[in-house]
Amino acid sequence: MKRMFAHYIIFSALLFMVIGAFLYANKPVEKDKYMEITVASGDTLWKLAKEYKEQHQLSTTEFIEWVVDVNHLSSQRIVAGEKIVIPVLKSKENESLVVRK
């Protein structure tokens, strides 16, 4: 009987941790904390990732995936004049801070 109770406790704890991790992972990004830029003619996500490399610690691929996901883009193609949020935090002094995915 004690053994069954122990299994129940362990299973419950693991289930709680999995549900908590799932909820945390699906938490939406607060866009207002990140820089919004207007895409210029000739810009690509690859170029933007390289241009802002000093302000984030993501790989180029991670940067691109973050931008596509957060901005709900259907592809990696961006258009001049489009406003997108990039993974660079705004600071109080209007400087960029390091961000992790």
Q: Is the dihedral of CA 100, 46, 54, 37 positive or negative?
A: negative
Q: How do residues 82-99 score in pLDDT, each as one tens digit?
A: 999 999 998 743 554 444
- pLDDT category at 20 given cuts 50, 70, 90 is low
Q: What's the predicted TM-score (pTM) here?
A: 0.65
Q: What is the mean pLDDT of residues 15-29?
A: 67
**Domain 30-97 has what CATH class?**
alpha beta
Rg over CA atoms, the chain = 20
Higher pLDDT, 86 or 18: 86
| Tens digit of each residue's pLDDT (9 = 90 or more) over 5-14 | 787 788 787 7
Instruction: Give the pLDDT of residue 100.
Output: 46
